[in-house]
């Protein structure tokens, strides 16, 4: 008697939400897709989405998001995308921005796992070393990252975020990726080495997603013995872990405290 052929398990589906307008950063989207396929194989697929074209009116995300009002206006569409992702059958929503837009609000609105690239990379880094050094691309992003670290209560483990010197915005990083990545790698290494030597850092986090792609693409994995974490790999793998924990163990988002949902019917009525 022949053994029945097992039915293939369909890959899990992750929605990766960027805070960039991907229409102008095609190379960035392409790298994310290529990296996710190499990392996740048949286990999961990643759909990369950005903000609507024209959101920043020709400005870079780094320059725009430094203004609190602009940030507020820009991120409103992210929560609508999270609701859409759940309705369209995605297994998890990954916030691929170190600003973690509306993380609390999104978790209170949807039931699928919601992971943030900052939260997941910092928590995993805490298992790799004692003192974590985030390095951003520019002062505006360093300020946002620092605020998020404090929001998560991780100041005792995470050093103050510092920017590259000189700072570089997204378009500059993508141009450097193809023309002169070494200049970015040297600036990043210099900032990391200072944190290691003078502040006792033992884990390095590229704290901006486009910047992180350069570290991954150029295989910068360690500096003076300190791991340079792949924040993209962590975000996706962390999402898969949360999916499995929910499916296998019934562990989902808390509905008391920060992510409480006291009136589910109202949530449904207000979800656009």
Q: Could you tell me the residue ranges of all domains in the chain?
A: 12-270
**What is the total residue count of the chain?**
272
Q: For 211-233, what is each residue's pLDDT tens digit?
A: 999 999 999 999 999 999 999 99
pLDDT band at 4 (very low <50, low <70, confident <90, very high): low
Taking all residues of the chain, what is their mean pLDDT, rounded to a whole number? 93
Segment 154-172 shows an average pLDDT of 94
* Class of the CATH domain delimited by 12-270: alpha beta
Segment 125-149 shows an average pLDDT of 96
Nearest to 235, CA basis, from 126, 77, 98, 138: 98
188 pLDDT above the threshold of 80? yes
**pLDDT more than 90, % of the chain:** 78
Output the CA torsion 254→259→264→269 (10° steps).
-150
Segment 76-105 shows an average pLDDT of 95
pLDDT of residue 262: 87
Give the pTM.
Answer: 0.93
Contact 234, 204 (CB under 8 A): no
**pLDDT more than 70, % of the chain:** 97
pLDDT of residue 63: 86
């Amino acid at each position: 008697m022949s053994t029945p052929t097992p039915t293939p398990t369909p890959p899990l589906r992750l929605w990766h939400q960027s805070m960039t307008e991907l229409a102008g950063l095609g190379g960035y989207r392409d790298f994310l897709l290529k990296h996710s396929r190499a990392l996740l194989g048949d286990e999961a697929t990643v759909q990369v989405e950005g903000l609507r074209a024209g959101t920043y009116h020709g400005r870079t995300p780094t320059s725009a998001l430094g203004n609190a009002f602009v940030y507020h206006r820009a991120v409103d569409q992210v929560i609508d995308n999270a609701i859409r992702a759940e309705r369209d059958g995605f297994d998890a929503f990954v916030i691929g921005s170190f600003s973690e837009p509306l993380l609390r609000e999104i978790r209170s609105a949807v039931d699928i796992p919601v992971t943030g690239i900052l939260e997941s990379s910092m928590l995993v880094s805490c298992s790799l070393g004692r003192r974590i050094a985030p390095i951003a691309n520019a002062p505006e992003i360093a300020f946002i990252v620092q605020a998020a670290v404090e929001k998560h209560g991780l100041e005792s483990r995470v050093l103050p975020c510092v920017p590259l010197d000189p700072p570089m915005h997204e378009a500059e990083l993508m141009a450097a990726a193809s023309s002169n990545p070494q200049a970015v790698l040297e600036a990043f290494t210099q900032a990391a080495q200072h944190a290691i030597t003078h502040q006792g850092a033992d884990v390095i986090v590229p704290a901006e997603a486009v910047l992180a792609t350069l570290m991954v693409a150029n295989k910068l994995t360690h500096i003076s013995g300190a791991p340079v974490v792949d924040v993209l790999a962590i975000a996706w793998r962390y999402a898969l872990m949360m999916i499995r924990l929910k499916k296998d163990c019934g562990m989902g988002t808390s509905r008391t405290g920060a992510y409480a949902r006291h009136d589910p019917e109202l949530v449904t009525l207000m979800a656009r």
